[in-house]
Structure 1
Amino acid sequence: MEVYGENFADPFVLAVADVFYAFATNGPLGNVQTLRSADLKVWEPVGDALPTLPAWTTPGRVWAPEVVAHSPHRYLMYYTSADPATGHQAVGVAESANPEGPYVDKSPSPLISQADEGGSIDASPFRDWLLWKNDGNAIGVDTWIYAQRLTDDGLARTGPSYRLIKQDLPWEGALVEAPYLVERNGRYHLFYSANAFDRADYAVGHAVGPSPLGPFTKSGDPILSGPGGPGHNMVLPVGEHDYFVYHAWDPTQVGSDPRGRTMHIAELTWSGDTPVVQP
C-alpha cells in the first residue's frame, strides 16, 4: 500500500519508542529526505537529516540512507554519494544524537570506495556487520553483495570482506543490490533487489542461510514484483508483526512518473523460511 505519495526513493524506517522516522534518497525535502509518523500510515515531512555534506560527496547525488541506533542518543547513518575523486559512487557514515538528525559526516574520505569494482552503494548495517553492493554494472562487471565487520564505534570496517551473492538468475538482469539482512529463528534472510531500478522488471529477491555470511540459497523467483518496479526494501518489526517497506513507481507512468518512486508498506508474513508480502 502506498503510504507517502511524493518522491521518496530507497526508503528506510527507524522505530524509536512510539515514533517512526523514514529516510530516503535526495529529493524535494533535501539531501536525506525525512518523514515522521505515529502509525506507519500518516507521514509528515521533517526535512533534511543530512543538511551539510562532507567535501568528498556530490550535492544532488545522495542516495539510499539507512540508520541504526548504535547506543542511547547516538545514531549512525550509512549512505551513498558520488565521489568526485574516483568518478564512482561510494559509501559514507554520519552520526547524530537525535534520530531525525542533523547527521554529520566528519570523515575526509568515504567509508567504502571500490573504484576498481565500479564503486560502492547501498550500505545496510546488521548488528556489527555492514552489507553493501559493489556497483559493477557501472563498468560492466559482476555485482556482489559484500559483508564486513564494523569497528565497535561503527565508523570503520575491520577484518576481511566477504562476497555473499551476485547476479546469476535470469530475472536479476545485470545486477543485485540493496541488501537487507534479517535473523529469524536462527536463520538469516537476505533480501535484495535486482534488475534496473527504473524498469518494470525491478523486483525483490530473497535468500536464506545459516549465518550472516551464508552460504545463502536463493528462493528463485522474486518475492515481490509488478509493473511498478517495486524494490529497495527493508523489514520493520513492530510488536508481533513484520512490515515490508519498499518503493515503487506509478505503474501507469513507469520511467516518467513526476512523483518519482513513492513509499509503500505491506505486512510481511512467513511460511517456514519463505517470506510472503501481503497484498
Structure 2
Amino acid sequence: MKSLNSLLLVLLTGISGAFAQQATTSGNPIFKGWYADPESAVFNKQYWVYPTYSAPYKEQVFLDAFSSKDLVSWEKHPHVLDTAAVKWAKKAIWAPAIVEKDKRYFLFFGANDIQSDKESGGIGVAVADRPEGPYKDHIGKPLIDSFHNGAQPIDQFVFKDKDGQYYIIYGGWQHCNVARLSNDFKTLVPFKDGTTYKEITPEGYVEGPYMFVRNGKYYFMWSEGGWTGPDYSVAYAIADSPMGPFKRIGKILKQDPKIATGAGHHSVIHNKKKDLWYIVYHRRPLTETNGNHRETCIDVMSFDKDGLIKPVVITKEGVKAQRLD
C-alpha cells in the first residue's frame, strides 16, 4: 500500500508540476476566440489588448477587451464598445487604437468599411472613464469620413510624440496618412503648411500602421500582403521624425508553415521598467482556411546592437509571465 501511495504521490506531483510549468508562459493564442488586429497598451499596471472581433463584417458590431497582470492569465471584458453607442456605425468595427489622456480613455476605431466618399463611415472616436469602458461616441460622427491621398479610412493608430503632440496614423488600400489631432480629439489640426493629411507611405505598405520611439528614433511598422492569405506579414522602417521619410528595412514577422500562417497586423508592448519588448499580433492556425479564423498571439521582440529589429520567432509557447509591478 505504501508503494502504491508513493506512486500516486509521484504522479500527482508530476501533474501539478506540469500545470505549474504551463502556467508560467502565456501560450499562443493568449485567449480563446477568433480575434485579430490587436491593439495593446499598459494601464494601471496591467496589460490590455483590444482586438477586432474576427467575423463576417455584418457581425462585427462590437469590440471586446482583455486585461492581464502577468501576460499569462487574461480577463475578458465583453462589448466595451457596441454600435448601440455609435449611431453612425453599422458594421465592420475594426482595428481599435487606444490612448489615455487627462484621466480618460479614448478608443479610435474604423467602421462600415467604406469604399468611396459617397458612403457613410470611416474612423471614429469613443471615450470612457475606465480602460474596460463602456465607451460612448465622442463626436457623434466620424473623425475621418473620406479618402485622402488614396487611403481608405481604416486601421488607425494614435501616436504621442515627444513634444506632447498626438498624431493619427492610418490607412488601407496601400496608402498611409498622418494627421495632427486637436487637444480634445474631436477634430484634426492642419500642419503649418496648411495641409491636413500628409502621406507617409513606405515601400510595400498595405495597412495596419504602428509607431514607437526607441533611443530617439521613430520606428514605423506596417502589414504587407493580403489579410486572408498565408503570407500576411509585418515590415518596418526607421526615421528621425514621425513624418519620415520612411525607407523600408525589411520584414520582421511572418508565417512559419510549421506553426501558423498569416502572421500580421500587430502592436507592441514595452515593459519600460525591465526594458522588455513584446509583439502582439494575429495569425491563422494551420487547421483553418476561413479568412476570419484568426487568433491573437504574443511573442518576444528584440533588437540588435545597431537598433534594428531582429526577426520575430513565432511560437506555440508565447512569452514568460511578466508583471509590471
Q: TM-score range by the shorter chain?
A: 0.7 to 0.9
Find the counterpart in structure 2 of residue 80 from structure 1. 110
Find the counterpart in structure 1 of residue 249 from structure 2. 219
Aligned pairs, number? 261
Q: Is the 8 A contact 1:208 1:273 kept in 2?
A: no
Q: Is the 8 A contact 2:63 2:79 kept in 1?
A: yes
Aligned letter for 1:39? D
Find the counterpart in structure 2 of residue 241 from structure 1. 276
C-alpha separation in 2, matches of 1:118 and 1:39:
37
Find the counterpart in structure 1 of residue 319 from structure 2. none
C-alpha separation in 1, matches of 2:37 and 2:210:
12
C-alpha separation in 2, matches of 1:256 and 1:119:
20
Per the TM alignment, residue 24 of structure 1 is displaced from its structure 2 partner at its CA by 1.3
Find the counterpart in structure 1 of residue 8 from structure 2. none
Aligned letter for 1:234? S
Find the counterpart in structure 2 of residue 101 from structure 1. 133
Moved over 4 A (4+): 27-30
Aligned letter for 2:168? L
C-alpha separation in 2, matches of 1:5 and 1:202:
21
Q: Is the 8 A contact 1:88 1:119 kept in 2?
A: no
C-alpha separation in 2, matches of 1:232 and 1:183:
19
Q: Does 1:10 align with 2:37?
A: yes
* 1:35-46 superposed matches below 5 A: 35-46=66-77
Cα deviation 1:117-157 (Å, max 9, x = unaligned): 46310110001111000x33xxxxxx211111111122221
Find the counterpart in structure 2 of residue 20 from structure 1. 47
Between structure 1 and structure 2, the one with the greater Rg is 2
* 1:1-279 superposed matches below 5 A: 1-26=28-53, 31-51=62-82, 52-59=84-91, 61-72=92-103, 74-82=104-112, 86-87=118-119, 90-115=122-147, 117=150, 119-127=152-160, 128-133=166-171, 135-136=172-173, 143-159=174-190, 160-166=196-202, 168-169=203-204, 176-220=206-250, 222-226=251-255, 227=257, 228-238=261-271, 239=273, 240-255=275-290, 260-271=293-304, 272-276=306-310, 277-279=312-314
Change (3 A) 1:248 1:89: farther
Per the TM alignment, residue 96 of structure 1 is displaced from its structure 2 partner at its CA by 0.7
Q: Is the 8 A contact 1:77 1:93 kept in 2?
A: yes
CA RMSD of aligned residues (A): 2.2
Per the TM alignment, residue 41 of structure 1 is displaced from its structure 2 partner at its CA by 1.7
C-alpha separation in 1, matches of 2:225 and 2:121:
18
Per residue, is there more helix in 1 or in 2?
2
Identity of aligned residues (%): 27
More relative contact order in 1 or in 2 (CA 8 Å, sep 6+)?
Answer: 2
My pick for the range that moved more, 98-107 or 190-199, is 98-107
C-alpha separation in 1, matches of 2:231 and 2:121:
23
Q: Is the 8 A contact 1:54 1:107 kept in 2?
A: no
In structure 1, stretches of 5+ residues that fail to align are 137-142, 170-174
Per the TM alignment, residue 89 of structure 1 is displaced from its structure 2 partner at its CA by 5.3
